[in-house]
């Protein structure tokens, strides 16, 4: 059995730009390195793969984000940011004050798919936005209610 979700990997075209974006959300840089081409080729099956990565940590989570930039050959899927595509679709971040976070990101030029929406079933407030290279992200603010209600909203069953 698995012990936990370890990290999420996001391939980006500009490592520094992506790092700066996630810093707006409170992430800090952890381990980073150039990857040995022979190792990366063995791992990915991509001949001649070269790249570098950085790990981003957030004080509110034990799961890290690993940003990876390949030197050549990678390209963005033009449908990457569509919510209806099959596959891993978006990363979601819980926030305490969604208006403040949205304001900070809008001031930095971030593109949002809509205004903040409220899911009537739970009162959760959320919005989708595009991160680096058009990856789809979600911000979610959960209502300040009794813990049992919040647990029911996020519990796996």
pLDDT tens digit string along 10-38? Answer: 999 999 999 999 999 999 999 999 998 88
**Domain extent listing, the chain:** 1-75, 76-157
Note the pLDDT of residue 101. Answer: 96
Task: Report the CATH number of the 1-75 domain.
Answer: 3.10.180.10
Predicted confidence (pLDDT) at residue 148 exceeds the cutoff of 50: no
The whole-chain average pLDDT of the chain stands at 87
**Full-model pTM:** 0.81
Instruction: Render the burial of 88-115: b for 16+ CB within 10 Å, e for the rest.
Output: eeeeebebeebeebbeebeeeebeeeee
Same CATH fold assignment for domains 1-75 and 76-157: yes
Predicted confidence (pLDDT) at residue 119 exceeds the cutoff of 60: yes
**Interatomic CA distance for residues 124 and 30, integer angstroms:** 31
Note the pLDDT of residue 77. Answer: 74
Return the percentage of the chain with pLDDT > 70, whole number: 90
Task: Report the CATH number of the 76-157 domain.
Answer: 3.10.180.10
């Amino acid at each position: 059995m698995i012990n936990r979700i370890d990290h999420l990997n996001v391939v980006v075209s500009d490592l520094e730009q992506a790092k700066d974006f996630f810093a707006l959300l409170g992430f800090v840089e952890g381990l980073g390195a150039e990857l040995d081409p022979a190792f990366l080729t063995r791992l990915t099956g991509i001949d001649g793969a070269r790249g570098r990565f950085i790990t981003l940590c957030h004080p509110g989570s034990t799961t890290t984000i690993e940003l990876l930039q390949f030197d050549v050959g990678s390209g963005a899927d033009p449908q990457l940011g569509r919510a209806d595509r099959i596959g891993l679709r978006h990363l979601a971040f819980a926030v305490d004050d969604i208006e403040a976070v949205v304001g900070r990101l809008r001031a930095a030029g971030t593109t949002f798919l809509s205004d903040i929406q409220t899911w009537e079933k739970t009162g959760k407030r959320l919005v989708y936005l595009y991160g680096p290279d058009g990856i789809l992200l979600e911000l979610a603010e959960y209502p300040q209610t009794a813990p049992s209600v919040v647990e029911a909203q996020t519990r796996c069953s």
